[in-house]
Chains A and B, each alone.
Chain A
Amino acid sequence: DIQLTQSPSFLSASVGDRVTITCRASQGISSSLAWFQQKPGKAPRVLIYASSILQSGVPSRFSGSVSGTDFTLTISSLQPEDFATYSCQQFTGHPLSITFGQGTRLEIK
């Protein structure tokens, strides 16, 4: 089974900061990785899919990239509404299998 390891698990930052969250896959997973944002008591919201494609309606300060088995979510300038938990998620096909990372909690400094 493919494992996704996110780092850091916890991140403290200030409004206006640039932050980066990494998701490392235990083996190659092509580009089928997505990033979600989740606020307390709410369902997750997709931000990025296929490693770097911005979901419709998501602000452009969010971006995704990949290098080998390391996937990165970057928020270019933190806004107050961005403080939340971020999770990565991967697909493998044939048969379909889906895995989530353990989450990164982003809190205001």
Chain B
Amino acid sequence: QLQLQESGPGLVKPSETLSLTCSVSGGSINSGTYYWGWIRQPPGEGLEWIGNIFYSGATFYNPSLKSRVTMSVDTSKNQFSLNVKSLTAADTAVYYCARDFGYDDTGHRGTFDVWGHGILVTVSS
């Protein structure tokens, strides 16, 4: 059974860079049909897509965050990562990694079907 697990700091200072890693187990990140994504949720608010990455390294970012976000994939470790720079308090959120299964067998666009538990990141001095 595929499982995802986020790891990284729970507290980061303003203006610094957040680095998170998502470890994938029970399946290979090398699958040619899946995207791997990051989504965040500020306390008491809705979900916000940060970006997706393909195993090849192709990336797709939320335009509102694109200037501060970098995603990467390490197929040898079966992990993918997120960096967010120039943090402010508005970046305080639960950060989730998830698998986007792309298209199903009938060609319909799927969505995020497997999620990590999430990691709370607080931006504060």
B62 shortest CB reach to chain A, Å: 8
Question: CB < 8 Å: which of B48, B60, B108, B115 contacts A44?
Answer: B115
For residue A53, CB closer than 8 A to chain B, the reply is yes
Contacts of B49 in A (CB 8 A): 89, 98-100
Residue in A closest to B117 when the chains form the complex, CB atoms: A43
Residue in B closest to A34 when the chains form the complex, CB atoms: B111
For residue B32, CB closer than 8 A to chain A, the reply is no
For residue B77, CB closer than 8 A to chain A, the reply is no
For residue B80, CB closer than 8 A to chain A, the reply is no
Instruction: Report B45-76 CB contacts with A as 1/0, cut-off 8 Å.
Output: 01111001000000010110000000000000
Interface pair A43/B47, CB less than 8 Å apart = no
- A47-72 interface (Cβ within 8 A of B): 49-50, 53, 55
Q: Chain B interface residue count: which class?
A: 20 to 34
For residue A32, CB closer than 8 A to chain B, the reply is yes
Residue in B closest to A100 when the chains form the complex, CB atoms: B47
Contacts of B60 in A (CB 8 A): 95-97
Question: CB < 8 Å: which of A32, A46, A103 contacts B109?
Answer: A32
Interface pair B63/A97, CB less than 8 Å apart = yes
Interface pair B52/A100, CB less than 8 Å apart = no
Cα A87 to Cα B111 with chains together (Å): 13
For residue A74, CB closer than 8 A to chain B, the reply is no
Cα A32 to Cα B96 with chains together (Å): 21
Contacts of A101 in B (CB 8 A): 46
For residue A1, CB closer than 8 A to chain B, the reply is yes
A–B pairs, 25, beta carbons within 8 Å: A31-B108, A34-B112, A36-B47, A36-B112, A43-B115, A43-B117, A49-B108, A49-B109, A50-B109, A50-B110, A53-B104, A53-B108, A55-B113, A87-B47, A89-B49, A89-B112, A91-B111, A96-B52, A96-B60, A98-B52, A99-B49, A100-B39, A100-B46, A100-B48, A102-B46
- Residues of B at under 8 Å CB distance from A? 35, 37, 39, 46-49, 52, 60, 62-63, 96, 98, 104, 108-113, 115-118
- Residues of A at under 8 Å CB distance from B? 1, 31-32, 34, 36, 38, 43-46, 49-50, 53, 55, 87, 89, 91, 95-103
